Amino acid sequence: LAHKSAVLAQALAANATAQTPLQIGAALGGFEILTMAGSVIAAAAGRRVIVVDGFITTAAVALAQALRPGVLDACVFAHRSAEGPHARWLQHLHVRPLLDLDLRLGEGSGAALAWPLLTAACALLADMASFESAGVSNRE
């Protein structure tokens, strides 16, 4: 942890002039986070639902949101990771995850667990009968 903190301090000092989200992402984000942020922007532009799983993916979504405000509207956050910074990202973005199970595997397990909830919600919205179509009366 001390080494990671030192590397981060060096990176922040070396990139003190980075001001825009793109500059900050390019200076500190790494290729994979920038690639994920671009994928989030493209998926949101294509009106796709984005299932966000874990800390690193949430960091990429935060960058995508900074670059293209509104992408959060396409995002469903699968879970809150056990990693401390993840809860802070979720608070910063003002989002609530579907699950809070202290997952920390980083292998898409949160998305896999959230998927049945999402498919059930879609089925309910698409197929659930209304009171009228089911013949339910408001009378006692």
Count, residues in the chain: 140
User: 34 is in which domain, residue-wise?
Assistant: 11-127
Catalytic-residue membership of 140: no
Residue 44 counted as domain residue: yes
What is the signed CA dihedral for 120, 121, 125, 130, rounded to 10 degrees?
80
Residue 71 counted as domain residue: yes
d(CA 36, CA 39): 5
Query: What percent of the chain shows pLDDT beyond 70?
Result: 97
**φ/ψ (deg, to 5) at 51:** -90, 115
Residue 136 counted as domain residue: no
Which of the residues in the chain have pLDDT under 50? Answer: none
Q: Output the pLDDT for position 96.
A: 96
CATH number of domain containing 66: 3.40.50.10210
What does pTM read for this prediction? Answer: 0.83
Domains of the chain: total: 1
Residue 138 counted as domain residue: no
Q: Output the pLDDT for position 1.
A: 76
Contacts of 12 by beta carbon, 8 Å cutoff, 6+ apart: 28
Catalytic residue among 83, 107, 132, 140: 107
Q: pLDDT tens-digit profile of 8-29?
A: 899 889 999 999 999 989 888 8
d(CA 65, CA 88): 16
